[in-house]
Amino acid sequence: MGQQVGISTLHGTIGGWRADPATPAKGAVIVVQEIFGLNSHIRGIVEQYAQHGFIAIAPALFDLIEHDIELGYTEADVARGRQLRSELGEDRAVDCVRAAMEEVEAEGFVGVVGYCWGGTIAYLTCSRLGLPAVSYYGGGTVPFLDETPSSALMLHFGANDPLISADDVAKHRASLPDAEFHVWPAGHGFNCDQRADYNASVASEALQHSLKFFETHLE
């Protein structure tokens, strides 16, 4: 069962959600939120990784702007989330992931997984901090493709994603020849059971690939 934790960053203390496995940990995974805050979906992913044998922690990135942001998936929530994302910016988000890494790095090798905007932050964490990273539908990565990953990288996309074009996926492939790609028959947000594009079978298969990735690279 997960619990709330405090994480000290360069910009102040933020909250987080952490879960530990019942067995000796295979490593630690930082879970990076979408633009909707540290909501029940992200907490559920933390619990999921702990159930599969990893220490998992999700920093509440928006705490640097406003505490306890937990949005849903309505149009109003999207607008609010985009506003918070713009106000926080990618650099401070990466600083928060760095702080989460420092919370768990003494307990084993650390990787990062991120969703939507969090997928972009996971990519930047890979390039700037050298952590093995898995990015789910991180279309916002395109402006940062000149930043070379410095560790292993896996990217998941949906072939039917209206927010990430086939051309954008092709740009990722061209810029990241060493990355592992999975393009699924699904839309945007296919991993989230609170979103209209949720696809249970694709989410399950993508998770298996992600778990194998971390089992390989966190050792």
What residue numbers bound the domain in which 46 lies?
Answer: 3-217
Q: Tell whether the model's pLDDT for residue 153 goes beyond 80.
A: yes
Q: By C-alpha distance, which of 79, 86, 22, 90 is closest to 50?
A: 22
What pLDDT, on the 0 to 100 scale, is given for residue 219? 77
Averaged over 29-55, what is the pLDDT? 98
What pLDDT, on the 0 to 100 scale, is given for residue 58? 98
Q: Tell whether the model's pLDDT for residue 1 goes beyond 90.
A: no
What pLDDT, on the 0 to 100 scale, is given for residue 46? 98
What pLDDT, on the 0 to 100 scale, is given for residue 74? 96
The amino acid sitting at 36 is F
Which CATH number belongs to the domain containing residue 85 in this structure?
A: 3.40.50.1820
Q: Tell whether the model's pLDDT for residue 137 goes beyond 80.
A: yes
Averaged over 162-187, what is the pLDDT? 97
| Averaged pLDDT score across all residues of the chain | 97
Q: By C-alpha distance, which of 211, 8, 199, 214 is closest to 101?
A: 8
Active site members: 116, 161, 188
What pLDDT, on the 0 to 100 scale, is given for residue 87? 98
User: Domains in the chain: how many in total?
Assistant: 1
Dist. CA 152–CA 9, nearest whole Å: 25
What pLDDT, on the 0 to 100 scale, is given for residue 107? 86
Q: By C-alpha distance, which of 156, 144, 152 is closest to 203?
A: 156
What pLDDT, on the 0 to 100 scale, is given for residue 59? 98
What pLDDT, on the 0 to 100 scale, is given for residue 198? 98
What pLDDT, on the 0 to 100 scale, is given for residue 67? 96
What pLDDT, on the 0 to 100 scale, is given for residue 23? 94
- Tens digits of per-residue pLDDT, 64-104? 999 999 999 999 999 999 999 999 999 999 999 999 999 99
pTM of the model: 0.98
